[in-house]
Amino acid sequence: MRDSGDLKWYASWVPEGMINNARRSGLNPNAAFIGFIIAWIAFFAILYAPPLAGLKPEGQKAAAVAVWAVIIWITEAIPVGITGLLIPLMLVMTKAEKDIGKAFGGYTQDVTFLVLGSFIFAAIMQCTGMDRRIAMAVLSRVKPQVDQVLKGFMAVNTVLGVFVPAAVSRAAVLLPIVKGVSALFGDNEKGKRAVAALAISGICYFPMVAGILLLTAHLPNVIMAGLFDKQLGYQMSYARWFWLHWPIVGLYPIMFIMLRKLFDVKDISIPGGVDFIKEEKTKMGKTSLVEWFVIAVFGLAVIMWITEPYHGIKTGMATLIALGIFFIPGLLPVSWQAVQSKTIWGTFLLLAGAMSMANAISSTGLAKWLADIAHPLFIGQPFLVVVVGVILVTAVIRIFMLSNVAAVSMLAPIMLSLAKVLNLNPVAFTLLVCNFDTFSFIIPTQVTACVIAYGTNTFNTSTYARVGIPIMLVTLIYFMVIMMPWYAFNGLPVWGGYVTWK
């Protein structure tokens, strides 16, 4: 029998069988069906619209594909991995990109293989239990007080950032731990504040800081690094990215102080917290030889990433070399079937497709055209007004987008072109705007990891905004006062004029 009680009027026309199938596959019928239709209407409307003044035909076709992709991403009408495959296909079919190899360019960049290898590394760690062991090892060293566990979550996210790419993956690792600790609190006002602070910080906020720190810890980093290389000839190695972004850890103590104050958890202890963590560690036993082997091989990969300037092997290729060692017969007692079942293939396909789209937005002239439109708003303004203004505009746009990957794949090429027309350093300008995009904390649906945190039912949207908006404002100040001068100190002054390294 058709259950139409939760269907909106605009989805009530869909046949019952399709509604039921959508629900079984995890889709929201109210969003998926209407989003699918609107995406295609928008696609054809832009594709066959009269030529837009100043925009090349290829750019208009790329715009049609980009708008289609954004609507599909917002409404989650199609699995993200499939959109990653369809984007380059549509670029070819519309002739926005006439060369198939160029259209699928996101799949062949070195950073793409770096991320794919990192995803497989993460799957191996899950199969061997190393990810959870790392988390529990750090948490076992803090006192059973909420504010001290917050400090533990900072360390856990930083360490996991090295081993587990993608903030959503780290959130998944920490989810059962947060739930386990949260279950120890009673149903009182103090307990509610405590579990809300733990969920928001451990699963949502702190993974974002760790994500900025390391090139492989956040997929938007990879998109920007790929664009810098392809469009500007500026190679962002693993070591260079880390050096440029290590000051971001200064946000940890600031967030910690704000969370402790906003949630008032300074003197709240965790009932039986030490026992819970000890029990979890006891269940794991001692680190096995297999786990030490995993750490050793991954350590080799990290060393190769850091020493790229000396041996000349690109990070993506170095990752594949280390990955190959894992599968020398007899060394790893984990089947490929187990590894591939835990590898986030859909996210990898999404990343590659998003990179292909970002490249097309730049190469077809669409980014320049959009930048020219924005140019009059900021022309003649001081560089600080420009940077802050663009950040605030993009922060509003981000309210309507779930994925950081989707947002940055759209924004980064536009920022590169806008930097050119405003005569700003393109790398510093793009990093400031797009890195701030990571801290979109107005509503939970802006960041996938925060959706996971919201799923714990430990806080509501008003609490999320009450805490998130002040953190965004402080982060903006931190970017202007700390990160922007640090970029300048390292040869990337945002005010220094447009430059390429080709």
The pTM assigned to this predicted structure is 0.72
Helix, strand or coil, per DSSP, at residue 277: helix
Nearest CA among 279, 307, 315, 324 for reference residue 124? 324
The pLDDT value recorded for residue 276 is 67
The pLDDT value recorded for residue 274 is 62
Instruction: Report how far residue 228's alpha carbon sits from residue 234's, in angstroms, rounded to the nearest whole number.
Output: 5
The pLDDT value recorded for residue 419 is 92
The pLDDT value recorded for residue 61 is 94
CB neighbours of 262 closer than 8 A, spacing ≥ 6? 466, 467, 470
Angle formed by the axes of helices 57-75 and 345-363, nearest 10°:
150
CB neighbours of 413 closer than 8 A, spacing ≥ 6? 227, 231, 358, 359, 361, 362, 366, 367
The pLDDT value recorded for residue 245 is 96
| Structure tokens belonging to residue 314 | 């690109």
Domain boundaries, given as residue ranges, for the chain: 110-342
List, as one string, the DSSP characters of 203-242: IIIHHHHHHHHSGGGSHHHHHHHHHIIIII-----HHHHH
If you search the block for the tokens 């055209």, which residue do you land on?
A: 369
The pLDDT value recorded for residue 350 is 79
- pLDDT tens string, the chain, 502 residues long: the values are 344 457 776 777 778 888 888 888 878 888 888 889 999 999 999 999 998 888 899 999 999 998 898 888 778 788 878 888 999 999 999 999 988 988 998 888 887 887 788 778 878 877 887 777 776 776 677 777 788 888 888 888 888 787 776 676 677 667 767 776 776 676 778 888 888 888 888 888 888 898 899 888 888 898 899 889 988 999 898 889 999 999 999 999 999 999 888 888 887 777 765 666 677 777 778 888 888 898 888 888 878 877 877 888 887 888 889 889 988 998 888 889 988 888 878 878 877 888 788 788 878 888 888 878 877 888 888 889 999 999 988 887 776 565 677 778 888 898 998 899 889 999 999 999 999 988 988 877 677 677 667 767 788 878 888 899 999 999 999 999 999 999 999 999 999 999 998 7
The pLDDT value recorded for residue 401 is 60
Q: SS3 breakdown of the chain: % helix, strand, coil, rounded to 5?
A: 75, 0, 25
